[in-house]
């Protein structure tokens, strides 16, 4: 009995896994196990012998069973410890960096422009990029034979051979939104219209798609002086410094009188700085809305008048953020976008400060 005890208790203590433990259980206390067989021999013993051997065998059986149970618990605790050790995770490690997108300079500048004009009471109006030639030309006092039509390098949409109607165009400027807004809202009006425009042109300063923002203010006593104030106010807010403007007499079919506007700049060291120096940079076209344009928009030119202007958003972005080549704006080169892009939570507002 002592031999049996030593043999099994030691084997149980040494068992490395549950399978070994089960094997030991079968060999010791299973139906045909050594201890079970010994118990069967009790019947052949004398009552005296049985009185001694019986309890001793029972005690041994109990001892082995509890040793098995204890070892089983110990093994599963060890297995859990091993798992916890290998599956350990350091939650204090810094996370893997994930690239987030950035705001394109055009979107950023559009937001900036919108914030500044909104502060002066201008709402944002939008129109379609595929326009009828009426809205893009005729309504803006550019009749069929007018040279401005040819000058604008217009993209025309396709019409079937036998379709007599004039083709739609990709709008060549944001000015048609003036007419659409007059028709929709009537006077008085105070809007800006930012958006994409299209012309068949491609070099360092021209891309076939670019961006403009139109401005339109109609009222009973709006004059060229209001135009000048609004534009100077805008440029100073946009560039973050007092910017002088120069109005040069010009000609546009949709305004009378018309003026091209230059902003003060310097060209020191080959880079342009706005708001200093004594050079001038042309940035927009403007004027008093032509009576024919008001009429086309359903507004009585004897009752209302006002100013309009149009400027390039891409150009503003290049000037403010020192971006040299316009074509790169639309190449979708991630390196360029990461370099010139803006953080997405950095929304430009007048109170929060525009980006400089």
Regarding 12 and contact with ligand DAH (CB under 6 A), the answer is no
Decide whether 181 or 355 has the Cβ nearer to ligand DAH. Answer: 181
* 3-state SS assignment for residue 242: coil
- Gap between the Cα atoms of 334 and 35, Å rounded: 78
Regarding 285 and contact with ligand DAH (CB under 6 A), the answer is yes
- Gap between the Cα atoms of 321 and 317, Å rounded: 6
Quick note: the x/- pattern for ligand DAH over 172-191, rule CB under 6 A, is: -x-x----------------
Report yes or no: 191 and 219 within 8 Å, Cβ to Cβ.
no
Phi (first) and psi of residue 60, to 5 degrees: -65, -40
Shortest approach of ligand DAH to residue 250 CB, angstroms? Answer: 8
Shortest approach of ligand DAH to residue 140 CB, angstroms? Answer: 8
Regarding 105 and contact with ligand DAH (CB under 6 A), the answer is no
Tell which one of 236, 286, 292, 355 touches ligand DAH (CB under 6 A): 286
Residue of 229, 225, 221 whose CA lies nearest to 305: 221
- Gap between the Cα atoms of 82 and 76, Å rounded: 10
| Burial of 213 from C-beta contacts in 10 A (0-12 / 13-18 / 19+) | buried
Instruction: Check the annotation: does 256 bind a ligand.
Output: yes
Regarding 287 and contact with ligand DAH (CB under 6 A), the answer is yes
* 3-state SS assignment for residue 291: helix
Quick note: the x/- pattern for ligand DAH over 295-334, rule CB under 6 A, is: -------------xxx------------------------
* Total Cβ atoms within 10 A of residue 346: 14
Tell which one of 154, 181, 236, 255 touches ligand DAH (CB under 6 A): 255
Instruction: Please give the residues from 200 up to 219 whose contact with ligand DAH meets the rule CB under 6 A.
Output: 214
Q: How big is the site for ligand DAH, counted in residues (CB under 6 A)?
A: 12
Contacts of 247 (CB under 8 A, 6+ apart): 228, 259, 260, 261
Decide whether 135 or 254 has the Cβ nearer to ligand DAH. Answer: 254
Q: Which residues bind ligand DAH (CB under 6 A)?
A: 173, 175, 214, 252, 254-255, 285-287, 308-310
């Amino acid at each position: 009995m002592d031999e049996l005890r030593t043999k099994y208790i030691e084997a149980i203590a040494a068992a490395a896994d549950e399978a070994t433990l089960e094997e030991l259980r079968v060999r010791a206390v299973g139906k045909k196990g050594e201890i079970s067989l010994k118990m069967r021999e009790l019947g052949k013993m004398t009552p005296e012998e049985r009185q001694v051997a019986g309890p001793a065998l029972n005690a041994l059986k109990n001892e082995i069973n509890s040793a098995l149970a204890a070892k089983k618990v110990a093994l599963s605790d060890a297995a859990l410890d091993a798992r916890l050790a290998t599956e350990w995770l350091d939650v204090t490690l810094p996370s893997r960096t994930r690239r987030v997108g950035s705001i394109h300079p055009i979107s950023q500048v559009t937001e900036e422009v919108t914030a500044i004009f909104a502060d002066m009471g201008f709402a944002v109006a939008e129109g379609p990029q595929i326009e009828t030639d009426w809205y893009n030309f005729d309504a803006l006092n550019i009749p069929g034979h007018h040279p401005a039509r040819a000058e604008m390098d217009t993209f025309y949409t396709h019409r079937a051979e036998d379709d007599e109607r004039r083709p739609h165009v990709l709008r060549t400027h944001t000015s048609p939104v003036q007419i659409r807004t007059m028709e929709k809202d009537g006077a008085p009006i105070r809007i800006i219209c930012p958006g994409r425009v299209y012309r068949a042109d491609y070099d360092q300063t021209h891309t076939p798609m670019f961006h403009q923002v139109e401005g339109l203010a109609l009222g009973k006593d709006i004059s060229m002086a209001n135009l000048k104030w609004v534009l100077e106010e805008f440029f100073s807010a946009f560039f973050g410094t007092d910017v002088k403007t120069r109005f040069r007499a010009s000609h546009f079919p949709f305004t009378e009188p018309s003026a091209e506007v230059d902003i003060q700049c310097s060209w020191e060291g080959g880079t342009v700085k706005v708001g200093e120096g004594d050079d001038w940079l042309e940035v927009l076209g403007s004027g008093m809305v032509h009576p024919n344009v008001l009429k086309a928009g359903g507004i009585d030119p004897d009752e209302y008048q006002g100013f309009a202007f149009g400027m390039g958003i891409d150009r503003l972005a290049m000037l403010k953020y020192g971006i040299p080549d316009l074509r790169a704006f639309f190449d979708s080169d991630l390196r360029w976008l990461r370099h010139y892009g803006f953080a997405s939570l950095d929304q430009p507002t007048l109170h929060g400060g525009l980006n400089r």
